[in-house]
Amino acid sequence: MGVELSKEFFDKLRQSYESKDGVQVKLLLEEMHPADIAELFEEIDLEDARFLFLQLDAEIAADVIVELEDDEKAKLLAGIPSEIIAEQLIGLMDSDDAADVLGDLDDEKSEEILSHMKDMEQAGDIVDLLNYDEDTAGGLMAKELVAINENLTVKQALGEMRDQAEDIDEIYYLYVVDDRNVLKGTVKLKDLLFSSTNQKINSIFDPDIISVKTDAGAEEVAKIMEKYDLVAIPVVDGIGRLVGRITIDDVVDVIREEAEQDYQLMSGITEDVDFSDNVLRQSRSRIPWLLIGMFGGICGSLILGAYEDYIAQHAVLALFLPLIAATGGNAGVQSSAIVVQGLASGDLDLQSTPKKLFKELKVGLINGIVCSSIIFLYNLIFSDSFALTLTVSIALFSVLVFATVFGTFIPLLLKKLKIDPAIATGPFITTSNDIIGLFIYMLIARLIFGYFY
Site for its own copies in 379-408 (CB under 8 A): 400
316 binds its own copies (CB under 8 A): yes
Q: What is the DSSP letter of 152?
A: S
Is the Cα torsion angle 8, 69, 103, 108 positive or negative in sign? negative
The residue among 82 and 432 lying less far from its own copies, judged by its C-beta, is 432
Least Å distance, CB 380 to its own copies, is 13
The residue among 139 and 300 lying less far from its own copies, judged by its C-beta, is 300
Single out the segment in contact with its own copies by CB under 8 A; choices: 21-29, 70-78, 99-107, 334-342. 334-342
Which helix (DSSP H) or strand (DSSP E) does residue 25 occupy?
helix 22-29
Site for its own copies in 243-302 (CB under 8 A): 247-249, 251-253, 255-256, 259-260, 262-264, 266-269, 273-276, 279-280, 282-283, 286-287, 289-291, 293-294, 296-298, 300-301
323 binds its own copies (CB under 8 A): yes
315 binds its own copies (CB under 8 A): yes
The residue among 108 and 382 lying less far from its own copies, judged by its C-beta, is 382
Single out the segment in contact with its own copies by CB under 8 A; choices: 18-26, 116-124, 148-156, 356-364. 356-364
- Determine the straight-line distance between the first and last CA of the chain, rounded to whole angstroms: 76
339 binds its own copies (CB under 8 A): yes
Q: Which residues on adjacent β-strands are paired with residue 245?
A: 142, 234
377 binds its own copies (CB under 8 A): no
Q: What does the buried/exposed string (b/e) look like for 146-156 if buried means 16 or more CB atoms within 10 Å of the residue's CB?
A: bbbbbebbbeb
**Which of 14, 21, 24, 35 is the binder for its own copies (CB under 8 A)?**
35
Least Å distance, CB 371 to its own copies, is 6
Distances from the Cα of 381 to the Cα of 17, 261, 331, 451, angstroms: 71, 46, 26, 22
Three-class DSSP category at 419: coil
Least Å distance, CB 200 to its own copies, is 20
Site for its own copies in 157-216 (CB under 8 A): 158, 161-162, 165, 168, 170-172, 188-190, 193-194, 208-212
Least Å distance, CB 34 to its own copies, is 9
Least Å distance, CB 144 to its own copies, is 13
The residue among 18 and 107 lying less far from its own copies, judged by its C-beta, is 18
Q: What is the three-state SS of 42-79? A: CCCCHHHHHHHHHHCCHHHHHHHHHHCCHHHHHHHHHC
Are 368 and 347 contacting, i.e. CB atoms less than 8 angstroms apart?
Answer: no
Single out the segment in contact with its own copies by CB under 8 A; choices: 75-83, 85-93, 127-135, 423-431. 423-431
CA nearest neighbour of 337 among 325, 351, 348? 348
Query: Pairing mode, if any, of strands 173-177 and 183-188?
Result: antiparallel
Query: Pairing mode, if any, of strands 232-236 and 212-213?
Result: parallel
Are 251 and 221 contacting, i.e. CB atoms less than 8 angstroms apart?
Answer: yes
324 binds its own copies (CB under 8 A): yes
Site for its own copies in 131-160 (CB under 8 A): 158
Length of the chain: 453
**Which of 245, 425, 440, 448 is the binder for its own copies (CB under 8 A)?**
425
Least Å distance, CB 112 to its own copies, is 29
Are 336 and 432 contacting, i.e. CB atoms less than 8 angstroms apart?
Answer: no
Are 342 and 424 contacting, i.e. CB atoms less than 8 angstroms apart?
Answer: no
52 binds its own copies (CB under 8 A): no
